[in-house]
Amino acid sequence: DRQDDFLMWLAKAARDSGGSMESILTSILVVNFAAIHTSSMTVTSTLFQIASQPEYIAILREDILDAIKAEGWTKGSVNSMWKLDSFIKETQRWQGFGIGTLPSQVLKTVTFSDGTIVPTGMHIHAAQAATYRDSTIYEDADTFRPFRFSEKRGQTDQSTRHQFVSTSPEHLIFGHGKHACPGRFFAAIVIKIFLSHLLRYDVKMGGDGSLPENVMIGTSTILSSKAKVLFKRRQ
């Protein structure tokens, strides 16, 4: 039987569309780039937030240790780290990867009810940054509240809706609908394990201890390359 995996999807797509081996290799490189830089940026941006706000470190450590004590290092224990999950999601809400997401090209001219016309061939994005800072969607949208999502998960019967990996029109980091990232579950586990191990050390920002400013290149957010995070082995 043929494997039902990413490589087979690429091979089938190339065969059906008359693509070449080069097109398959290009697709692999594109996916590798997308997976690596987004995960590494998420880890780094979350680490910056933690290191610049050390008052949250003890809370995160307790969340991690409680999960591990309950069942060791398992998928279930990592998924039960609600506060760490919330901290990561809030970090992404706070800065994201750029101004827009879900880039698309219009295939047919559309006229909206207010008269706005989107012509064929135009490239459009979902307004990710504007959504994340919209006070009608997020309470205290201009305030970094690291546990806003874990609090919601504990107060409602829709706990899965507020997970880091859950997609919605209000949370577009992983896309949405049929365009949602299929690798987000694996990525979330890797990110949480990585941060859990980093928190075995005491961490703080170098310099004046403040959160480093991002750099915008076009519509994309780039983390500071000059920021320094200091690590100290715990006694």
Write down the pTM of the prediction: 0.88
Query: How many residues can be counted in the chain?
Result: 235
Which residue ranges are tagged as binding site for heme?
181
Q: Evaluate whether residue 13 is within a structural domain.
A: yes
- Given this model, what pLDDT does residue 179 score? 86
pLDDT at 22 over 80: yes
**Digit-coded pLDDT (tens) for 140-167:** 999 999 999 999 998 877 788 899 999 9
What is the tally of structural domains in the chain? 1
Q: Evaluate whether residue 68 is within a structural domain.
A: yes
What is the span of the domain harbouring residue 85? 6-233
DSSP bridge partners of 159: none
Which residue ranges are tagged as binding site?
181
Q: Evaluate whether residue 116 is within a structural domain.
A: yes
Query: Is residue 207 left, alpha or beta, with left meaning phi > 0 and alpha meaning psi from -120 to 50?
Result: left
C-alpha 186/C-alpha 182 separation (Å) is 9
**Digit-coded pLDDT (tens) for 114-144:** 999 999 999 999 999 999 999 999 999 999 9
Q: Evaluate whether residue 93 is within a structural domain.
A: yes
**Beta carbons of 200 and 194 less than 8 angstroms apart:** no
Of the pLDDT bands very low, low, confident and very high (cuts 50, 70, 90), residue 89 is very high
Q: Evaluate whether residue 196 is within a structural domain.
A: yes
For the record, the structure tokens of 23 come out as 């097109």
Average pLDDT of the segment spanning 18-47: 88
Q: Evaluate whether residue 111 is within a structural domain.
A: yes
Q: Evaluate whether residue 1 is within a structural domain.
A: no
CA nearest to 129, candidates 102, 162, 96: 96
CATH code of the domain in which 134 resides: 1.10.630.10
Q: Evaluate whether residue 54 is within a structural domain.
A: yes
Average pLDDT, the chain: 92
Handedness of CA 154, 159, 164, 167 (dihedral sign): negative
